[in-house]
A and B are shown apart, each in its own frame.
Chain A
Amino acid sequence: MNAPPIPEAPRKLRVATVSLAGCFGCHMSLLDIDERLFELIERVEFDRSPLTDIKTVGERGQCDIGLVEGGLCNAENVEVLRAFRAHCTVLVAVGACAITGGLPALRNHLDVGDILQSVYGEVPDDPELPLPLNRVLPIHEVVHIDHALPGCPPPADAFWQLLQDLIAGRTPVPAPGLIRYD
């Protein structure tokens, strides 16, 4: 008999995530979607992320979504952010740090040399270590961002709504209660 063809499963979206000058709290809030993670993993696969062992963003192909937590505090942050921009079709600034610099940007009224001197005495100078920037920057000052998810951290439901919107091909517009800055 002519059985109807089995519909092709939709291609999984490729999602990369990273923490720059972040505290990993935004990633924890993403994990706070709890059992919805099982539903999510049916629709996405993760590229470079603190949750995977992939070392370089985009080495397995272009990513559909990049979630960036944290602002920019050192040279390595800038290099990684540019790689994310180059390899992610949609780049999302996640959390207060990525959007505004966040509480780490409170160091911006101090001299970065003075800070290192007062913390370390003898400042580490191995070239393995990335040099700090003189100011902590929000990521939109270095690359174009497509969306932002405010909050410190954003509520789990805000992550869920953003991912559902992007998976469905909709422009993410957070529900009013999900826009939080604290």
Chain B
Amino acid sequence: MSAVDPTFDLDGQPIALQPGDTILTAAARAGHEVPHLCWSAEVSASASCRLCTVLADGRPVAACVTPAVAGQKVECRTALLATQRLRLLQMLFVEGNHFCPGCEKSGHCLLQVQAERAGMTDLNFEVLNPERPVDASHPDVLFEPNRCILCQLCVRASEEIDGKRVFAIGGHGIATRLVIDSASGRLGDSALSVDDRAAHICPVGALLPKRVGFAVPIGRRRFDTGDTRG
């Protein structure tokens, strides 16, 4: 060990560095959450959601893929970044059909809790109301594409953890969607098993194991707090 461990500055707090750290991983180890949706410690980073954008020496970067550098000044909690995060979340909400009152992921959903933490009360933009058909062809897993935020966690989990490559991202622009590797394009004809990590890593209500919805009482769901009415 050197006499002084290398650190960088996160909103005025010194954060210890280890080799290979990104800004997000170093901050997480020190107990500071950088808001994120598409990042998971289990798989490689994709930097698609942009929610983890921070200012590194004044320059906006995605904290999940940007190496942490000793002595760097990183800002995460600024008014401008908070507004940007709110707008990103509102864009994700209007892009899909996020009707939380009828979604069995409610209370366990990372998109929902990030929006609550960002103070989102309204949608700001016009809703898109996509009309992508639900795929219920798999016996144990449901795919509701109108909730998919294209984080690609299932893509990476299937490839890197399950060794299957069941999922990929297809299409362009606003028509970009999650595609499934089977001749019919349907989940039921793919190699996906409900025991796969990819069947459980979805941070929202797009890929859901069947027949387990609404099993957890309100007040005891993953992101419920003491304030959550039971």
* Chain A residues in the interface with B (C-beta under 8 A): 93, 96, 99-103, 105-106, 108-109, 135, 137-138, 140-141, 145, 147-150, 152, 155, 173-182
B123 touches A181 (CB 8 A): no
CB distance from A137 to the nearest CB of B (A): 8
Q: A150-B121, A181-B112 are in contact. Are A141 and B102 (CB under 8 A)?
A: no
Q: A109-B129, A135-B129, A177-B225 are in contact. Are A100 and B93 (CB under 8 A)?
A: yes
A99 touches B129 (CB 8 A): no
Closest to A175 in B: B227
State in angstroms the CA–CA spacing of A40 and B229 once bound together.
23
Q: Which chain B residues border A145 with CB–CB below 8 Å?
A: 122
CB distance from B24 to the nearest CB of A (A): 23
State in angstroms the CA–CA spacing of A8 and B229 once bound together.
40
B106 touches A182 (CB 8 A): yes
CB distance from B196 to the nearest CB of A (A): 28
State in angstroms the CA–CA spacing of A137 and B102 once bound together.
17
- Enumerate the 10 nearest inter-chain pairs by beta-carbon distance, A residue then B residue, closest first: A177-B227, A152-B101, A148-B122, A181-B100, A182-B106, A148-B121, A109-B131, A182-B100, A108-B129, A179-B116
Closest to B229 in A: A155
Those of B83-136 within 8 Å (CB) of chain A:
93, 97-103, 106-107, 112, 115-117, 119-124, 126-127, 129, 131
* Chain B residues in the interface with A (C-beta under 8 A): 93, 97-103, 106-107, 112, 115-117, 119-124, 126-127, 129, 131, 225-229
State in angstroms the CA–CA spacing of A141 and B125 once bound together.
8
A174 touches B127 (CB 8 A): no
CB distance from B59 to the nearest CB of A (A): 30
Q: A141-B126, A176-B116, A181-B115 are in contact. Are A106 and B121 (CB under 8 A)?
A: no
